[in-house]
Every structure is written in structure tokens, then in C-alpha cells.
């Protein structure tokens, strides 16, 4: 579900007003973008850390708001910051020994009405098993609704690379799903 241009314009307006010190605009900016940031970081990392990573994203973004120029949408700019926050967290964790086992069920986010919990866990596990760059491109375009160009900007790579990663992610997901169905079916 792609945000329409008027929503992007509204969010950019809120970002510019927040940069000028408008507290109401800052609050509205956070409310308008918080869900997308949380979903993105929860898939790149895990749901158990998503609240902290989302908070860190907004801390960094608020400090950087005066430098937001509007060359990209505010949502794209913010998701670029979120991506850097997750990368920094991963680097930090790799420098330290693991502290706890992470269950696949920890990655469950919103369970759509009418869908079984088990199906959602399985879907999350399949997505989490994707190679990192494919998972990132897939989530940005298919879950958060960014255009391929915006996703390329977030990932700092060419648009064709995003298209390729999304196509390969779809293929990987279908193969993994079929293999799982063959095992359980």
C-alpha cells in the first residue's frame, strides 16, 4: 500500500515545520511515520528490539531535521536513517557475544484478521530467512509501499538492483513456501 503523493507532501511539510521548532508538527510527523519505521526495523532486526530501534531512529531524525532538504520524500529520508540505526545495532551486536536465544515467534508483528497465528509466524520465518539485501528491498517495496526509486535511495543502490532483489526475494519465498508445503503436506 503505497502512500499517495499528498500524504508524502503532508509528511514533508510536517518535517519542515518540525525543523523550524513547531512541536505540534514534530508530534504529528512522528505519529504519521512511526508505524512504518517500526515495521521496517522489526523485519531488519526483530520485533523485540523494534521499539528501541524506532526510538533511536527518531532521536537521530529529530537531530537531523534541520538538514532535511526535501530532495527525497520525508518517509524515504527517515527510513534511510532507520536502516543506518539497524546496521549500527548489528555491528554493535557482532562485536559482542549473543545474550539470548531469539525465537521466530518474536518476529510476529500485526496479525491480519482472518489469518491464523501459525500462518503469520511461518510467513515471518520465510521472510526472515531471506538474504539481508533481498529482505530489505522486499520489505521496503512490498510492505511499506515505497517506489523502487525510493527504496534504491534508502539502500543506496541503483533502481535495477532493487528490482532484481525484489524479484529474487519473491522467487526465494515461493521456493521456500513450496518446500515447506512438501514437507508438511
100 band by pLDDT with thresholds 50, 70 and 90: very low
125 contacts: CB under 8 Å, gap ≥ 6: 104, 107
Please give the model's pTM, rounded to 2 decimal places: 0.64
Helices 148-155, 74-94: crossing angle, 10 deg rounding: 40
Instruction: Measure the CA–CA gap between 134 and 141, rounded to whole angstroms.
Output: 11
pLDDT, tens only, 23-57:
999 999 999 999 999 999 998 887 788 899 999 99
- Tell me, what DSSP letter sits at residue 3? P
Q: What angle do CA 177, 182, 184 make, to 5 degrees?
A: 95
Max mean pLDDT among 94-98, 106-110, 120-124 falls in: 120-124
Tell whether the model's pLDDT for residue 18 goes beyond 60. Answer: yes
What pLDDT is stored for residue 184 in this prediction?
63
By the 10 Å C-beta count (0-12 exposed, 13-18 middle, 19+ buried), 133 is classed as middle
Under DSSP, the state recorded for 104 is G
Question: Alpha-carbon distance 183 to 185, whole Å?
Answer: 6
Average confidence (pLDDT) over 84-102 = 67
What was the pLDDT predicted at 127? 85
% residues pLDDT > 90 (the chain): 52
Residue 105: DSSP 8-state: G
Amino acid at each position: 500500500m503505497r502512500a499517495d503523493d499528498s500524504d508524502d507532501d503532508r509528511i514533508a511539510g510536517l518535517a519542515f515545520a518540525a525543523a523550524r521548532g513547531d512541536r505540534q508538527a514534530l508530534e504529528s510527523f512522528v505519529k504519521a511515520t512511526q508505524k512504518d519505521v517500526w515495521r521496517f526495523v522489526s523485519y531488519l532486526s526483530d520485533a523485540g528490539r523494534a521499539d528501541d530501534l524506532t526510538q533511536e531512529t527518531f532521536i537521530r531524525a529529530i537531530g537531523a531535521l534541520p538538514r532535511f532538504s526535501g530532495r527525497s520524500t520525508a518517509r524515504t529520508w527517515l527510513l534511510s536513517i532507520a536502516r543506518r540505526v539497524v546496521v549500527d545495532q548489528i555491528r554493535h551486536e557482532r562485536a559482542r557475544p549473543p545474550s539470548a536465544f531469539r525465537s521466530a515467534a518474536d518476529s510476529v508483528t500485526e496479525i491480519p484478521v482472518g489469518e491464523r497465528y501459525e500462518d503469520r509466524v511461518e510467513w515471518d520465518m520465510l521472510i526472515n530467512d531471506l538474504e539481508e539485501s533481498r529482505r530489505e528491498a522486499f520489505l521496503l517495496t512490498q510492505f511499506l509501499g515505497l517506489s523502487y526509486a525510493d527504496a534504491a535511495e534508502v539502500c543506496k543502490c541503483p533502481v535495477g538492483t532493487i528490482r532484481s532483489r525484489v524479484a529474487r526475494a519473491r522467487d526465494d519465498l515461493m521456493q521456500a513456501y513450496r518446500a515447506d508445503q512438501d514437507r508438511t503436506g
